[in-house]
Structure 1
Amino acid sequence: MYNSPVLFDKSITIVNKFTPRNERRKFVVISDQAGYDQAKSFTSEIEGTVPVECLSINGMEDKEEIKRLILSQKMGTQFYIAASWNNAVMIFSLGVEAGLSEAEIQTLIIGPKRRYVYCMKCFEVSEVEEEAEFAECDHCKASLEIGPFYSIVREGYIGYPYIPIGKEEVGS
């Protein structure tokens, strides 16, 4: 069974700086207000090498315009996303939905990334701190040890329930 790529805090598409893929026939740079300066800097850097198309968005209200732009591109186009987490996830998801692979997308996250854990006790997903090794499930309040494995299906790191020292209550 094939599962489409998803954007998570350690995705291979997330970069610290855009890298021009000169073997590509065209670049498409999509940014929100947070990523506008980085997008502009990158387009200045690559000017004249390959055709470039830019789109600056405000957020969810531009979803149809983003979809139209992505679907109008030909094979060999490289996509660059410079945006805050929520907008980057939306743009990335629209790209994957349109058939883009992770190799065709570079994502520069402006601001904090989000990280999610999938609770193996209640089977719900909760947001956790970016570097947390342990967390409490927002739904069932179970103490969770966050494993190293990210589930594309569950869209979160696997959270293994445990009983922390001091919380064991023998007999009621």
Structure 2
Amino acid sequence: MATAPRPRKRAASLASPAHTTTAPNGSAGPEPLDTRVLEGLVGYNARRAYLVISATFAERMAVYGMKPVDFSVLSLLEHNPGATSRQLCATLDILPPNFVNIVADMDRRGLIERRPHPHDRRALGLHLTPAGHQLVAQAEEAVIQLEQDASARLTERERDTLIRLLQKIYL
């Protein structure tokens, strides 16, 4: 079930006369605010985009019982079997005490199992169970589709550029 992208809201120009919008029930809505300063901020725009994507993510991932962090961990384990908790925490910028609960929940759900690490006797590698593999395969398909839906207004090149630019901030 694909959802259409939300229409982009534009602030009224300061040069134009103030006006009210009409709500679907016929009542006057609030006047649009001047958001030019906010729209010039990377953080504001990243947050607004995140809100749209995360709402869609929550809706579509509810059927899988997954939050974004769950999806990230399971996807990393799908593509990096045997990764350690330490590696996952470093990659996802999660504090180890918080990660303990995430792993415990996935273990309880039968999605992961711990096995001795082949090179470090002190560490345990995390592996997906067959149920974990099945769940992450379905979830990755759903997330890829929601990302395509959310970025439908962008060309493939613009989308790639956006990802690369965002990564320059945090990598």
After TM superposition, the score normalised by the length of structure 1 is 0.21
After TM superposition, the score normalised by the length of structure 2 is 0.22
Q: Please state which structure has a larger fraction of its residues in strand.
A: 1
